[in-house]
Amino acid sequence: MDLSSGGVVPPTKPSFPCQICGFICTTKSAFTNHTGSNKCKENVLRRQRGLDHSAPVEASATDYSSSLLNQAAIPDAILQKAQDLQRLSSKLSILPAHQAYFLLRTCICVPKMNYLLRASPTWLCGDELDQFDSVGKSALEAVTNVKMDGLTWAQASLPVSSGGLGIRRVAELATPAYLASVYATSSVVSDITTATECYDLVHQLWQTASGAELPAENVRRSQKVWDAALVKKTCEVIVNTFANDVTHCARLLAVAQPESGNG
């Protein structure tokens, strides 16, 4: 508008861009209600699947850290968890060994990663998962005062019911956790968006690691079902390694029996 003719510039309409999905809200109340809503999640899913080609709002990786749908933030999130584990496990030395082990297994190691493993494709970040497992292994070695080589660590990272110490490797849990979560929430996701995902890669990774066929569809929402095949494969590898050592085989099979913890 020509100001010389006495025109008035209309006031600029306020806007509140969502830092997660880029949606522009016109009022603060709308922005508050939008963030984290189904609409926000749908926008992120559509952009990830290439259905929304609009320019995203400029934001740093830390701005997206609250949204695990953003794959670029996942490696940093895993490394942050590793740092947290290192900090917490460094305090375990002030406790008796049994109490330290109990806290490591049930509180400050894998339990701190469960949500991340189930809510995002962490299986794409193998190096970062290995770093987390390295910290967990060092913490367990410090608590037990035992140096663990490859096979010792492989057995220690099995579930207690399979003869291990229950300090699971997140690199092994990544695919079972994600697949179980995907199938458990598939009906909800289909209500939010009509787009479809291709899970061929994660299925292939799981099958390669387990050497098994995909579970029946009616049990695919169970993480235990996916995990059991990987645990079985690991147990077979350990037993086969000591196939010529009767003592080792007997010990490995004995600690995996349900009665082995009775005292």
84 CA to centre of own chain: 15
Asked if residue 35 lies in contact with residue 18, where contact means CB atoms within 8 angstroms, the answer is yes
For 187-199, b/e burial (b = at least 16 CB within 10 A) is eebeeebeeeeee
Task: Check if the beta carbon of residue 44 is closer than 8 Å to that of residue 193.
Answer: no
Q: What are phi and psi of 64, to 5 degrees?
A: -95, 0
Nearest to 91 by CA among 108, 74, 78: 108
Rounded to whole angstroms, how far apart are CA atoms 20 and 32? 12
CA distances to 6, 35, 98, 120, 234 from 113, in Å: 63, 24, 22, 11, 21
C-alpha of 210 from chain center: 18
Q: What is the pLDDT of residue 31?
A: 65
The 10s digit of each residue's pLDDT in 121-143 is 899 899 999 999 999 999 999 99
Is the pLDDT at 151 greater than 80? The verdict is: yes
Can you tell me the distance from the alpha carbon of 60 to that of 158, in angstroms, rounded to the nearest whole number? 38
CB-based contact 23:39 (threshold 8 Å)? yes
Q: Which residues have CB under 8 Å from 246's CB, separation 6+?
A: none
Instruction: Decide if 176 contacts 227 (C-beta within 8 A).
Output: yes
pLDDT of residue 43 exceeding 70, the answer is no
Closest CA to 44 of 76, 16, 70: 70
At 79-104, the pLDDT tens digits run 999 999 999 999 998 999 999 999 99
CA dist list (Å): 206 to 110, 123, 127, 168, 180: 19, 10, 17, 16, 12
pLDDT tens for each residue of 153-174: 988 999 988 888 899 999 999 9
Determine which of 62-76, 167-181, 217-231 has the lowest per-residue pLDDT on average: 62-76
Length of the chain: 263
Q: Report CA dihedral (172, 175, 179, 182) to the nearest 10 degrees.
A: 120
